[in-house]
Amino acid sequence: MTSILEWPQQTPPNDSTNNESTLEVGEQLRTATTAIRLHVRWPGVRKTLSQGQRQLAAGAFSADANLLSAGKKLFDTSHPVFRAVSTVKSQAVSYWRSQTLPYVEPGLRLVKRGMVLGLESYLRESQLELQTKVRGLDQCWYELVDQARTRLGDLFDPTDYPPSITDEFEITWDYPSTTPPDYLRSVAPEVYEEECRRVRERFNEAVTIAETAFAEELAGLVAHLAERLSGDSDGKPKVFRDTAVTNLQEFFSRFRRLSIGSDDSLERLVQQAQSLIGGMVPDDLRQANPLRERISEGLTRIEASLDGYMTERPRRNIIRRAS
């Protein structure tokens, strides 16, 4: 895992209190988290048609094969055994994202150190479940290949299908370092200090990315529920799914777990939304009544405040990156 190093003394900027505060939050984020990267190995389920096959397809439409793009699905991905495998992957990726914060490097996310063991445990269980589901898929593999032979006709190519598919799926993860290697401290002190500066900049940027992601998600959830609660349809209250409420409540829980306390304005907006809707159940809002109207008006005000907050983001980011 990422080690905690002693960093060269940093002279804080004296021209912006906001800037200094952000630098401190960036450092808090660095010391409170470690990077985690999820790797998913997955077989291709589609394949581009060969040149000869494209020419045949183009001939049916008197088209130029060089301007035609065509492919085939190798097997029925809606089959229950394959969907079961896909569900494990989707749940693992979703959980990894829900327990982590975004980072500036693609594929890397930040997990709070106190949450590492819980995330590690979940991913290990996902690994085992994936192996079980893949064995079930492998037992049906010949059936899927036979179906493909019938359904693809002349497009079927037996070389597209391995004898077994058990080695085609895998979920792994690692904890890459986000800090410069310690040996640079003695080998090349100037290079080490420059790398430390770059790391600080990355974590300061990660703070901004996390704030923006939270704000955008909250804005979308609030706007959706506000629209569903406002007005009516054919003289009746608009219909909405339970998830319009439960997704907001899940957001509140996740925000409290992952928030780094970096932005008081965002914290207040989340608190306002949670105070308004946190204890509600969907059925409380299904009928036209004063409560539904009050919640709708409150959400509309929060939506407007979030719009203003997001409008200010570019200016605030420029101030923060001025150092």
Q: What is the pLDDT of residue 58?
A: 87
Q: pLDDT (tens digit, 9 = 90+) per residue, 254-309?
A: 999 998 877 889 999 999 999 998 788 888 888 778 888 899 999 999 999 999 99
Q: Enumerate residues 6+ apart whose C-beta is below 8 A from 212.
A: 313
Q: What is the pLDDT of residue 239?
A: 82
Alpha carbon distance 151, 155 (integer Å): 9
Q: Averaging pLDDT over each range in 39-43, 182-186, 255-259, 277-281, which range is the top one?
A: 39-43
pLDDT over threshold 50, residue 322: no
pLDDT over threshold 70, residue 323: no
Q: What is the pLDDT of residue 146?
A: 97
Q: What is the pLDDT of residue 235?
A: 65
- Mean predicted confidence (pLDDT) in 139-157: 96
Q: Is 32 exposed, middle or buried (0-12, 13-18, 19+ CB in 10 A)?
A: middle
Q: pLDDT (tens digit, 9 = 90+) per residue, 129-144?
A: 999 999 999 999 999 9
Q: Give the rounded percent of residues in the chain with a pLDDT score beyond 70.
A: 89
Whether residue 320 contacts residue 18, with contact meaning beta carbons closer than 8 Å, is answered with yes
Q: Model confidence at 86, in pLDDT bands (50, 70, 90)? A: very high
Average pLDDT, the chain: 87
Q: pLDDT (tens digit, 9 = 90+) per residue, 87-100?
A: 999 999 999 999 99
pLDDT over threshold 50, residue 80: yes
Region of poorest pLDDT, from 8-17, 91-100, 114-123: 8-17
Q: What is the pLDDT of residue 43?
A: 95
Q: Enumerate residues 6+ apart whose C-beta is below 8 A from 281.
A: 245
Alpha carbon distance 45, 79 (integer Å): 13
Region of poorest pLDDT, from 70-84, 119-133, 171-185, 307-321: 307-321
